Amino acid sequence: MNKRIKLQDLGRKDYKETWDYQEALFKSIVDTKIQNRRNETDVTTENYFLFVEHPHVYTLGKSGDESNLLINEEQLKAKGATYYKINRGGDITYHGPGQIVGYPILDLENFFTDIHKYLRFLEEMIILTLAEYGLKADRSKGETGVWLDVGTPFARKICAMGVRASRWVTMHGFALNVNADLGYFDNIIPCGIRGKAVTSLNNELGLETVNEAEVKQKLLKHFQTLFEAEFINYN
């Protein structure tokens, strides 16, 4: 079992370009697994973790409802945003500047074969990271992602999640609002859930900006502990 993960920070990168890159890494792992089974060889599969920040974009998961996008094509252009239907689970979400997006592309057979445990671990990584900033975050029953003030009229989502898995290989991941422009969420019904707000870390802390590099280091620390993994820089 290979628990080393190749870590790459892509900086700001177009959503479609990043999606294509994810697909290529995902396919390389799946192809290795197929060859291993066909040839009875034992080639070690790779694991990757991508950090990225996207220009303004809305993405709709395969089980999503297109009516949850509340603006038309012209309005999208006016806001400098793009829109894609994609192959992850979940409904509609927004990505943009000030948001830390993480895409773990893992062969879960290197760790554990339980997709629910995988999602809970991703949520736990976010919860532990936010605790370091004095915030009590939690899960909301039946709603993947991480929330604040769950079970109250003030419940608000700070991190969205949506993944795809095939042959125990994962792609897509999480989007944590750190210094995000929350106005862009007004153009959608986030994750298809009506009547619940969205928030960002800087908003919660009453700061103009939060150091995103510091947040990334905290995320990696907790991910590494939860998955008993080792990160290696990959360029």
Report the CATH number that the domain containing residue 65 is assigned in CATH.
Answer: 3.30.930.10
**94 annotated to bind ligand:** yes
Say how many CA atoms lie within 13 Å of 91 toward its Cβ. Answer: 15
**98 annotated to bind ligand:** no
**194 annotated to bind ligand:** no
Q: What is the pLDDT of residue 190?
A: 62
Task: Please spell the DSSP secondary structure of 122-172, one letter per residue.
Answer: HHHHHHHHHHTTT--EEEETTEEEEEESTTSTT-EEEEEEEEEEETTEEEE
What residue ranges of the chain have pLDDT lower than 50? Answer: none
As beta bridge partners, residue 197 has 156
pLDDT tens, residue by residue, 115-124? 999 999 999 9
Q: What is the pLDDT of residue 121?
A: 97
**192 annotated to bind ligand:** no
**37 annotated to bind ligand:** no
Based on the structure, what is the number of domains in the chain? 1
Active site residues: 191
What CA–CA distance (Å, rounded) separates 203 from 178?
8
CB 63 within 8 A of CB 90: yes
**121 annotated to bind ligand:** no
pLDDT tens, residue by residue, 173-213? 999 999 999 988 888 876 555 567 899 999 999 999 999 99
Length of the chain: 235
- Full-model pTM: 0.93
Its domain, for residue 47, covers 4-233
To 10 degrees, the CA torsion angle through 32, 52, 144, 163?
-20
